[in-house]
Chains A and B, each alone.
Chain A
């Protein structure tokens, strides 16, 4: 399909497809209208760089496939808010490591809806946990000095009995 050479702001043709290439060489087609959910891709489309497959060296094929699925779903007209919410909940109802990959991809591609959804999902992992549980879960090294830690532990002892 030949790319448009006009630089005026005409509405995107709904069936126009963009090709994306993942870090591991897989290619994916996405409707231009769905691709516009990504500010990064939107900029490229505006600047007419979208005629060749766009290389995305930061995103694996497995994840890019899901991102395309997300953007396509969210670009659908007439989606009922309740159904979309349920679909979103299922979308992030996956292994934590994959949700992290969604975050990294959404951040790189600047997709605010996906970023927000994935972050909210990670927030659920933080709720109801003690600091120690949070550190274990996310593999975080305690950055407090032993004195600071003792201080804080003493202050909050009751809270965690």
Chain B
């Protein structure tokens, strides 16, 4: 977006040069109705929160502008945690509606909610942030991850399990240590009853790949889906029935050597890297309204220039990750953390188009940092609540 520099000829820091404001009362302000709404469509969501408080007509204009001119779009949240005690957590977010990056700023006396985690911070299926320690299971699934729940830990000690929130049930599977009885054990935590139960173990075929390093997780309100990233073999778990389903082969193209799954709205989406890690030929997205390779349809392919950017300066690209909400997907890779690729389905045409966002803060990423990504539908209401509870507000970064 073009940066428009403003010669501030008649406004100082206090805005007190010309009487009460920089705009003389005598000059006609066109800021009402359609023009106000058009102007507000250029204002980032975080700045629309104070704008909506200016007056009743501005409040209405903000709502109307957001509904008709430029809708809010899902944010990408990047959570960084220091691996050294006290495991400070910081967060930043990208708002694609305005193309701005923001830092999460927390008030003086407070620590970011996630900072209270004494364990490693992980994310799963775009919407869940969690940490598991011998003493606690902590998790958060609200859009800005400001509300955290803490539960007793699962009975099996697990390293890097797969975790998913399916409806009101939190599923923990696999990742169990060698000395545990069942490396494929599955436990389900009922968030309403606050109770744990043991369920049918993971399918035996997953015994060598039961950690989240090997499995990509997606969840809708009824089921958890896990896909082996290297083979595409996918299983589903229904926590209510306590049963495993599948396997399903969700590898529609033999040229894919690595794939991950996620949900974009009601659609199950598979993102795959084609070729091989030393010579990636492309990145493709497939979608399906039901689980099963027959139903998978190619949605779109990453444009060549973007694939080049992904490969540029890397001798190998061995993995990608995906976060998605609604008709918006984010794709990123450890090989190039400073570029985030996004893909969006346009309402009117139904076409998918790609773009990039530079995550400048990722460039300085040190080995002593864990990073977890989530994707959320953030609107004025969420931002207002965050500010009101004092849990945090987002501030646009300089140079954004």
Contacts and interface: CB of A to CB of B under 8 A. Distances in A.
A143 interface: yes
B241 interface: no
B55 A143 contact: yes
B48 to A, nearest CB: 9
Contacts of B11: 96, 137
Nearest to B56: A143
B53 A97 contact: no
Contacts of B34: 107
B20 A139 contact: yes
Given A131-B54, A158-B107, A119 B7 contact: no
B350 interface: no
A125 B6 contact: yes
A121 to B, nearest CB: 5
B387 A158 contact: yes
Contacts of A123: 39-40, 42-43
A120 B42 contact: yes
A116 B4 CA distance: 12
A15 to B, nearest CB: 31
Interface stretch (B308-316, B361-369, B388-396): B388-396
A76 interface: no
A135 B35 contact: no
B6 A85 contact: no
Contact of B21 (A94, A107, A136, A156): A136
B7 A122 contact: no
Contacts of B47: 126-129
B38 interface: yes
A92 B50 CA distance: 24
Contact of B4 (A89, A143, A144): A89
Q: Which size bracket describes the interface of B in this complex? A: 35 or more
Interface string A89-115: 100111111001001100100000001
Interface string B7-23: 10111000100001111
B30 A93 contact: no
A107 B30 CA distance: 10
B23 A100 contact: yes
A160 to B, nearest CB: 9
Contacts of B388: 155-156, 158-159
A89 B5 CA distance: 6
A89 B55 CA distance: 30
Contact of A120 (B4, B22, B384): B4
B23 A96 contact: yes
B39 A140 contact: no
Identify which of B11, B22, B28, B30 gathers the most chain A CB atoms within 10 Å of its CB: B30
A139 B25 contact: yes
Contacts of A137: 11, 15, 21-23
Contacts of B35: 103, 107, 115, 119
Contacts of A129: 47, 50
Contacts of B384: 155-156
B54 A124 contact: no
A140 B5 contact: no
B53 A139 contact: no
B39 A126 contact: yes
B44 interface: yes
B27 A97 contact: yes
Given A96-B10, A123-B43, A141 B25 contact: no
A94 B4 CA distance: 11
Interface in A14-38: none
Contacts of A131: 50-51, 53-54
Contact of B7 (A93, A120, A144): A93
B155 interface: no
A88 interface: yes
Contacts of A116: 38
A93 B5 contact: yes
Given A134-B58, A158-B390, 8 more contacts: A93-B6, A96-B23, A97-B27, A127-B47, A131-B50, A135-B54, A142-B55, A143-B57
Interface of A: 85, 88-89, 92-97, 100, 103-104, 107, 115-117, 119-131, 133-144, 152, 155-156, 158-159, 161
Nearest 5 pairs of A and B residues by beta carbon: A123-B42, A143-B55, A159-B387, A158-B390, A131-B53
